[in-house]
Amino acid sequence: MKKAIQFGAGNIGRGFIGALLSNAGYHVVFADINEQMINELNEKKSYQIHILDLEKSVETITNVSGCLSNGTDIIDEIASADIITTAVGPNVLKFIAPTIAQGIEARRTAGGGSLNIIACENMVGATSHLQEQVLTHLSEEGKAYADQNVGFANCSVDRIVPPFQGDSILDVGVEAFHEWIVEEPKLKGGTPEIDGMKLTDNLVAYVQRKLFTLNTGHAITAYIGFLKGLETIDQSIQDEGVRAIVRPAMEESGAALVQKHGFDAGEHAKYIDKIETRFKNPYIRDEVIRVGREPLRKLGQADRLVGPVKMATEFDLGRDHLLKGIAAAFHYDNTADPQSAELQGRIQAEGFGPVVSDVTGFAKDSEDYNKVITAYEELKSLKS
């Protein structure tokens, strides 16, 4: 039987990618540092996915097991796997890279064949980033082997999967919508047959379309909602004041995406409509603190907030609402989130202006910089 390793037995790992792989006939080994989750997977060997949408249903996922990602068994698992996927968070890829490299070396020694690795993270070029990290841990022979036998394919991954309270810690609650688009030319040893995996040779367009529309709108909904004292995404997007920033922000990034990648403007407007409907889903409880998590990552220069501003700038297009969204992110003050605490600490210690320039790359007194400073002041009136 084919074997898949899914690094990260969290929401998207169990709620989407692991499930697709299991349904495609793979035995799925979830690799995680969460011992309780791993023990439970090995004991129950199955879990349930609750589709929480207008039409509800329950899907049972079988043929799964668990393995500690920081133990020793994982090396043998990698040596004999057909596909490796990850959903651990972009900042964690560097921690799993040495393990993947050891597994590739073991595979080489054992004379193993082709393997594909796909990092399913909200980040442009996540797999290429993982590949760079893995290469630093490989011997020269390991690098040559990987070059011949290991495909590192980027992807775009889309399904809203917030934390869920089920009968077992393994159960997940998901929206019905899902989209996984994988960069076909990078795959090695033929294309794996996985229902629900779409293939493209133009991945950057699809990753940016998703990250700069859904995740842009999601993050701005979370940050403005948080400022207004709202708890969930659906509450926030139903608030007219929040929607009045989020919708035009998605339209601004949309105009830039249409210019950049040649998407059909009418189709893109429908894509935005669908995303807004997904945010309004009343059957899932998605807290603004999950969607707003790690604000420094989200403010990164290729990420969902600054990324579309740069793209709009490239085509000399409007970006005022995106800039308001950036200002809202700088207001995100949640002591339970280490990156929020770091951001607020920096603003206190260094002053707001220097932090804006440093984090966003907007030059002091540039148009975008000045608009963020003004919006930051204006948004103070929303604070609950």
Task: Using CB under 6 A, list all residues that contact ligand 44H.
Answer: 122, 158-160, 214-215, 218, 291, 293-294
Q: Residue 67: which of ligand 44H, ligand NAD, none does it interact with, CB under 5 to 8 A by kind?
A: none
Minimal distance in Å, beta carbon 136 to ligand 44H? 24
Minimal distance in Å, beta carbon 247 to ligand NAD? 21
The window from 71-79, 88-96, 101-109, 133-141 that contacts ligand NAD (CB under 6 A) reads 88-96
Q: Per-residue contact track with ligand NAD, 117 to 136, x per CB under 6 A?
A: ---xxx--------------
Closer to ligand NAD by CB, 276 or 320: give it.
276
Buried b / exposed e over 151-160, threshold 16 CB at 10 Å, is bbbbbbbbbb
In one-letter notation, the amino acid at residue 279 is: F
Closer to ligand 44H by CB, 178 or 188: give it.
178
- Among all chains, which residue has been given the structure tokens 């590192």? 152
CA atoms within 13 Å, Cβ hemisphere of 328: 30
Closest CA to 16 of 47, 55, 54: 47
Residue count, binding to ligand NAD (CB under 6 A): 26
The order of strands in the sheet holding 172-174 is 57-62, 46-51, 172-174
- Contact between 151 and 115 under an 8 Å Cβ cutoff? The reply is yes
C-beta neighbour count of 2 within 10 angstroms: 14
159 counts as binding ligand NAD under rule CB under 6 A: yes
Q: Residue 7: which of ligand NAD, ligand 44H, none does it interact with, CB under 5 to 8 A by kind?
A: ligand NAD
323 counts as binding ligand NAD under rule CB under 6 A: no
Q: Residue 41: which of ligand NAD, ligand 44H, none does it interact with, CB under 5 to 8 A by kind?
A: none
| Dihedral sign computed on CA atoms, order 291, 295, 300, 304 | positive
Closest CA to 341 of 284, 296, 285: 296
Give 347-352's long-range contacts (Cβ < 8 A, gap of 24+). 352/376
| Dihedral sign computed on CA atoms, order 139, 143, 148, 151 | positive
Closer to ligand NAD by CB, 11 or 360: give it.
11
10 counts as binding ligand NAD under rule CB under 6 A: yes
- Contact between 207 and 304 under an 8 Å Cβ cutoff? The reply is no
Minimal distance in Å, beta carbon 5 to ligand NAD? 10
Closer to ligand NAD by CB, 8 or 308: give it.
8
Q: 157 φ, ψ to 5°?
A: -130, 125
User: Which residues fall within 8 angstroms of residue 142, CB to CB, at 6 or more apart?
Assistant: 101, 104, 105, 108
Three-state DSSP at 184 gives helix
Minimal distance in Å, beta carbon 158 to ligand 44H? 4
Q: Which of 48, 95, 125, 261 binds ligand NAD (CB under 6 A)?
A: 95
161 counts as binding ligand NAD under rule CB under 6 A: yes
Closest CA to 211 of 262, 154, 151, 128: 154
The window from 153-161, 179-187, 226-234, 309-317 that contacts ligand NAD (CB under 6 A) reads 153-161
Minimal distance in Å, beta carbon 194 to ligand NAD? 17
Closer to ligand 44H by CB, 158 or 183: give it.
158
User: Angle of helix 306-314 relative to helix 320-330, nearest 10 degrees?
Assistant: 160
Minimal distance in Å, beta carbon 334 to ligand NAD? 16
Closest CA to 163 of 154, 153, 173: 173
Binding residues: 4-15
Closest CA to 159 of 180, 142, 141, 143: 180
Minimal distance in Å, beta carbon 215 to ligand 44H? 5
103 counts as binding ligand NAD under rule CB under 6 A: no
Minimal distance in Å, beta carbon 27 to ligand NAD? 18
Q: Residue 32: which of ligand NAD, ligand 44H, none does it interact with, CB under 5 to 8 A by kind?
A: ligand NAD
Q: Minimal CB distance to ligand 44H: which residue?
A: 122
128 vs 142: CA distance, rounded Å: 17
Q: Minimal CB distance to ligand NAD: which residue?
A: 10
**Interacting residues toward ligand NAD by CB under 6 A:** 7-13, 31-34, 69, 87-90, 92, 95-96, 120-122, 157, 159-161
